[in-house]
């Protein structure tokens, strides 16, 4: 049966080659596009179906997934709106491509929209790898994340995400019931080989997510 290609986000889709590898939803950082994280997705979980999006918001010509008022200060009304649009897109993409609920892999701004989507629409994601994420909403929504695994990788030398903020996000997700692994890497805001190794190993242990989240 054929399905209409989902609309709403410019995206790339690569079918999977490994039955047990979980689908990955790839969400870039500020200034990236739908091509940026494809190599990362391939490296982290070989054989996974990859659904990689381009953020629909432009900031000085750079794609993002939601508006911000200044560095580290988010337009929370827009965060909520864009998380809702992302949740609707995921549902359409799953039907079009025959996917189980995906594991979000987001970097920076992409990690922030993934965290917001987990909290606002927990049913659409099987889990998340949040790379350099920060708290997306000042007040935590009431969410049921019981059984949702989340890997949060922060940088000890990150000039953008304060350590307290990352810890607060981990606590917010844990209080919602998520099984959170929070690791602070000896790195800045950019990704390191240690991040890639940790994320790849974590995803490798989550190979059953594809079947359990169908």
| Cα-Cα end-to-end distance for the chain | 18
Cβ contacts of residue 195 below 8 Å, gap of 6+? 131, 153, 185, 187
Tokens of 52: 């990689």
Contact 115, 133 (CB under 8 A): yes
**149 forms bridges with which residues in the sheet?**
179
97 SS3 class: helix
Rounded CA-CA distance 11/41 in Å is 14
Active site residues: 108, 158, 189
Of 66, 44, 43, 72, the residue nearest 53 (C-alpha): 66
């Amino acid at each position: 049966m054929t399905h209409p290609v989902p609309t709403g986000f410019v995206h790339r889709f690569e079918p999977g080659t490994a039955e047990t590898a979980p689908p990955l939803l790839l969400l870039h950082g500020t200034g990236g596009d739908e091509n940026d994280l494809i190599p990362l997705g391939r490296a982290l979980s070989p054989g996974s179906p990859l659904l990689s999006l381009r953020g629909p918001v432009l900031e000085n010509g750079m794609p993002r997934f939601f508006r911000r008022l200044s560095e580290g200060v988010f337009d929370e009304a827009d965060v909520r709106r864009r998380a809702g649009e992302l949740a609707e897109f995921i549902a359409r993409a799953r039907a079009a491509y025959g996917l189980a609920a995906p594991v979000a892999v987001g970097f920076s701004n992409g990690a922030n929209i993934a965290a917001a989507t987990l909290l606002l629409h927990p049913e659409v994601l099987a889990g998340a790898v949040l790379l350099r994420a920060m708290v997306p909403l000042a007040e935590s929504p009431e969410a049921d994340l019981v059984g949702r695994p989340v890997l949060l990788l922060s940088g000890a030398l990150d000039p953008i995400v304060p350590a307290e903020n990352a810890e607060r996000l981990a606590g917010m997700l844990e209080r919602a019931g998520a099984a959170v692994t929070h690791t602070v890497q000896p790195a800045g805001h950019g990704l390191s080989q240690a991040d890639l190794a940790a994320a790849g190993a974590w995803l490798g242990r989550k190979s059953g997510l594809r079947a359990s989240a169908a």
